[in-house]
Structure 1
Amino acid sequence: MLKGVNRLKPASRTLVFAVCLAVAGACSPIFKNHGYVPPTEDLAKIKVGVDTRESVEETIGAPTASGVVRDSGYYYVASRIRHYGPKKPEVVSRQLVAISFDQRGVVRNIERFGLEDGYVIVLDRRVTDSNVEDKGFLRQLLGNIGNFNPANIPGVSQ
């Protein structure tokens, strides 16, 4: 029944086995971790109303991002992304820790958010319309013959 398999040379069997192993390995997901979120134990060391920006950085490290406004907060973000074969990468988990400060730079609030708390925001790409879709190259070139004005050339004085 398996006479054809038994006739394969040992090198061929090894090659077939290696190819099967590579195909099976290619189907396993690959996880990538990005960013940093301080552990709960380190966040517990921060006292609301007592700690300042400097003491927060000493305790848990520099933030991933900070707010644009001077008195806004620190943000620590960590994401775990799964890559699975030819499929589009998928964000499996995301954590965000937001530490807000008052005008004096003292901690006002510490919040933790997960992927389930977020919203998917579609970013639009804005492209300037060129208005040349219906004109060919020669039409564009010949259409500018009557529009020439020497006063528009820089460096030419009248």
Structure 2
Amino acid sequence: MRLVLPALFLALASCSPIQRFHGYAPDDMQLAEIEVARDTRETVAEKIGRPGMTGVMEGSAWYYVQSDWVNEGWRPPVEVRREVVAISFDEAGRVSNVERFGQEQGEVVALSRRVTSTGPTGMTLLRQLLGNIGQFNPAQMLSR
């Protein structure tokens, strides 16, 4: 009986899902503080912080990426949600677009948008960020 209760407890504990959150994407209230055509990189950094990713070209967008993962027992982690916030800047360094993207059935979907031009210039990078759902393995990061 002494061994059965701890074994039963461990079996039940290993079945409960564990949620993990990676990255950071500002919420709509934080994004509402950013004024298109008025704010600069410096004021955006003061209001919501610097992103984990930027576009590769000078003057391109900042990308804030957040992923939510669920790990159930012995199964590998599953990414259940990913959001990307793209803040684009014009040649003068002022905000030109603020957009939030998600993923629905494998397709990139704009969740919210405040656009002053045709769209962010780094759409290829955005598609890569959202297209890699399920290909990232957090266990690889922990083993390094």
TM over 0.5: yes
Q: For residues 88 and 40 of structure 1, what CA distance do their matches in structure 2 show?
A: 31
CA contact (8 A) 2:78 2:134 kept: no
Aligned-pair identity in percent equals: 44
Deviations 1:47-101 (A, max 9, x none): 1011011110011001111000001011111111111222222101111100000
Q: Which residue of 2 aligns with 1:7?
A: none
Q: After TM superposition, which residue ranges in structure 1, 4 or more long, deviate above 4 angstroms? A: 120-123
Greater strand share, structure number: 2
1:50 counterpart = 2:62: no
Q: What TM-score comes out, normalization by structure 1 length?
A: 0.65
Q: Which residue of 2 aligns with 1:66?
A: 54
Q: For residues 49 and 73 of structure 1, what CA distance do their matches in structure 2 show?
A: 14
User: What 5-or-longer segments of structure 2 have no aligned partner?
Assistant: 109-129, 136-144
Q: State which structure, 1 or 2, has the greater radius of gyration over its C-alpha atoms.
A: 1
Q: Which has the higher contact order (CA 8 A, sep 6+)?
A: 2
Q: Which residue of 2 aligns with 1:108?
A: 96
Q: What TM-score comes out, normalization by structure 2 length?
A: 0.71
Computed over aligned residues only, the root mean square deviation of the Cα atoms, in angstroms, reads 1.9
For residues 8-157 of structure 1, what are the structure 2 equivalents within 5 Å?
13-116=1-104, 117=108, 118-120=130-132
How many equivalent residue pairs? 111
